[in-house]
Amino acid sequence: MFNKERLAKMKDGALIVNVARGPIIETEALIAELNSGRIYAALDVTDPEPLPAGHPLWKAKNLLLVPHIGGNSTAFEPRGRKLVESQLKLLAEGKPLNNIVAVG
């Protein structure tokens, strides 16, 4: 669970994404971090859900909020396979991989 302490350990400018379950992220702690301008969030799920009118998340800064529309698509498997194949080819050729996330 992402509570106040764990959210505080995120690097400035970090993005947290939740497409799983709303309670994974402590809502009040997330709102405080978002409104501080320190981190960003993209949420497909919330706690509570549905999000009531007037809830502070509706006006939170640095937030992309979508109405629980994430899910699997028939296009994912062929696109994912193509990406994996291209990455393996680059690796075999000793070339730089795409979509590298740098640590630190």
Active-site option among 21, 28, 79, 81: 21
Closest CA to 63 of 21, 98, 9, 25: 25
Taking the CA of residue 48 as centre, how many other CA atoms within 13 Å lie in the half-sphere pointing to its CB? 7
Active-site option among 26, 28, 68, 81: 68
Q: Is 55 a catalytic residue?
A: no
Q: Is 21 a catalytic residue?
A: yes
Active-site option among 5, 28, 33, 49: 49
Which one-letter amino acid corresponds to residue 36? S
- Rounded to 5°, angle at Cα 75 from 72 and 81: 100
Q: Is 49 a catalytic residue?
A: yes
Which amino acids are annotated catalytic? 21, 49, 68
